[in-house]
Structure 1
């Protein structure tokens, strides 16, 4: 059994200081729904856990101002049922209630959810050596340079957008996809101070270093999420297609928010999940819709534009057409919603 120290700081500054003292083996923990899972698989082997749940105000939800602000420790279930989120930004509410199970939504924090790691079967059952598991399944995320068993292997659930020769694992989240569509920003605190970046910039493409998944630096902690107010919020949806109706990751999903005048689309925001190596903003699809009268044919054309440049593997080519039709359906669902 590996010994683990446990600290429960009362402030953000104390948490950052505790992380610095603990060194490279330190991990922040909030709901723990992903970290504990990875610890059981020997993927994460922390020497110190820094529990941030006692930090006052880090779970605050503020929807009364010019922006929507969610403290990093706000629970998924609390954010998704907030009256303003539920009624004025259904894309955000739906992305949360279509994720995981009710038990997990009651535990999981919206900040830590942004750092959820891949669900690739080879990553989770992975490479031998120091991490344990079977040496039959190399994974560059677990052991850099060991190879990627998913490329040319069992790739039905893998990505078709943003893949590289080193990795084709899907970014697993629902909530980050909706936030990327809504141009949300993430607030980060760390040893060098505080900064704010677009949620989209939190994620890296795999390239030849797929083990480096996020742009967050060592010792930094997410403290909040800020979503700009927009009239597109009311005409929005998160549409998720999966193998079973609940407690399953997306085969394809689309977050869509529209600004419309009568039946004309003035502007569109579209992001994809379940099909890419990071939450994927579909700028090509948005451009197809801008300034056009909405029809089902136009929606499908936008869906297909979202997958231009897709690189399917051996068994996941169906995701291209499935994804295009998921986008088209989401556009029509959002358009039918009345501001």
Structure 2
């Protein structure tokens, strides 16, 4: 690890004023410190936010919007009574990721900003457009079993690794950020970006902006939700394919549907046109395939990851069945219902 300067700002405004292109904000550090050890991230300074006030609250306002501070740990968020009562999908997705030790350290804001686990991104002996723009993407012709099948570009086929972010996309959450120009709110679907011709950029954050909270609007899905994660082993593994579903039901029909996929793209993947195919209709198995086909329209494998297309189609249908039947996937027993 390269030498760096360590700072502990006394206020959020001081942290924002001190942020530069060569510095990084530090929360739990569960991903950033690893990247520094691999010499992928080379910050000149770290701005430790952990002593700042106002970033660790979990609150629900009169309209039912849930606000979770950026420094709330993943473990605390998953266990919080307001999250478990009103948005159990988020708790399930968090518990599906990492290990208890990592969840105790990792923060909600940091989870939003974690970077891909592409082998080539971590290996400084290989080219990588995400790490060093213009050097190439060896994953396209190399070992790409964990890589993307949707939203790729000629410059990058990496996937976003977060489970939590997939749930937030299905919940239509908003990311609250603050920078030199003040506060702004970014829809989760706009927060992360596809690689395009700038794969080194994971989000739409400006360099001096910091995540302060996540806001989730009130919904009426009750137990009609699920987070289904398919992976190589049942713990401490990133998703090959994951599916987050929220479903509101009225008189046996789907009145509202939101579906987000993980493990298949550079960001959580949503297609509103696919969701509309089931809205206003009964949750019949025959219609689940149409939703899956629309979600996966344009999917492309790169050899080792061709299997993901078929796996994703089956996972989407299974997740829709679980949500409709109000039998969300257990992340304790982990056996697929």
Partner of 1:104: 102
Partner of 1:176: 165
Counterparts in 2 of 1:214-253, with a 5 A limit?
A: 214-232=203-221, 234-253=223-242
Aligned-residue offset at 1:43: 0.4
Change beyond 3 A, Cα 1:123–1:338: closer
Would you say the 8 A contact 1:68–1:228 is kept in 2? yes
Structure 2 CA distance, aligned partners of 1:338 and 1:95? Answer: 15
Q: Does 1:46 align with 2:35?
A: no
Aligned-residue offset at 1:30: 0.3
Partner of 2:3: 3
Residue of 180, 185, 194 corresponding to 1:196: 185
Aligned-residue offset at 1:210: 0.5
Superposed CA offset, 1:155-175 (max 9, x none) = 111000000011100111111
Q: Does 1:28 align with 2:25?
A: yes
Structure 1 CA distance, aligned partners of 2:251 and 2:85? Answer: 21
Structure 2 CA distance, aligned partners of 1:233 and 1:318? Answer: 33
Q: Does 1:123 align with 2:112?
A: no
Q: Which runs of 5+ in 2 are unaligned?
A: 329-337
Aligned-residue offset at 1:2: 3.3
Superposed CA offset, 1:244-274 (max 9, x none) = 0011000000110001123211110011100
Aligned-residue offset at 1:154: 0.9
Change beyond 3 A, Cα 1:335–1:87: farther
Q: Does 1:79 align with 2:38?
A: no
Aligned-residue offset at 1:233: 5.1
Partner of 1:159: 148
* Runs (4+) off by over 3 Å: none
Partner of 2:258: 269
Question: Secondary structure of 1:196's partner?
Answer: strand
Larger deviation: 301-310 or 240-249?
301-310
Partner of 2:60: 63
Structure 2 CA distance, aligned partners of 1:287 and 1:222? Answer: 31
Larger deviation: 71-80 or 255-264?
255-264
Structure 2 CA distance, aligned partners of 1:233 and 1:119? Answer: 33
Partner of 1:128: none
Residue of 107, 115, 134 corresponding to 1:145: 134
Question: Secondary structure of 1:113's partner?
Answer: helix
Structure 1 CA distance, aligned partners of 2:81 and 2:319? Answer: 22
Structure 1 CA distance, aligned partners of 2:97 and 2:62? Answer: 27
| TM-score under structure 2 length normalisation | 0.93
Aligned-residue offset at 1:304: 2.5
Would you say the 8 A contact 1:7–1:18 is kept in 2? no
Would you say the 8 A contact 1:183–1:228 is kept in 2? yes
Q: Does 1:335 align with 2:324?
A: yes
Structure 2 CA distance, aligned partners of 1:261 and 1:143? Answer: 51
Superposed CA offset, 1:108-139 (max 9, x none) = 000111011011011111xxxxxxx31xx211
Aligned-residue offset at 1:338: 8.3
Partner of 2:112: 114
- Equivalent pairs counted in the alignment come to 327
Q: Which runs of 5+ in 1 are unaligned?
A: 126-132
Partner of 1:298: 287
Would you say the 8 A contact 2:243–2:319 is kept in 1? yes
Superposed CA offset, 1:53-93 (max 9, x none) = 10112111113542000000001111111123223322111
Would you say the 8 A contact 1:242–1:251 is kept in 2? yes
Structure 1 CA distance, aligned partners of 2:326 and 2:80? Answer: 19
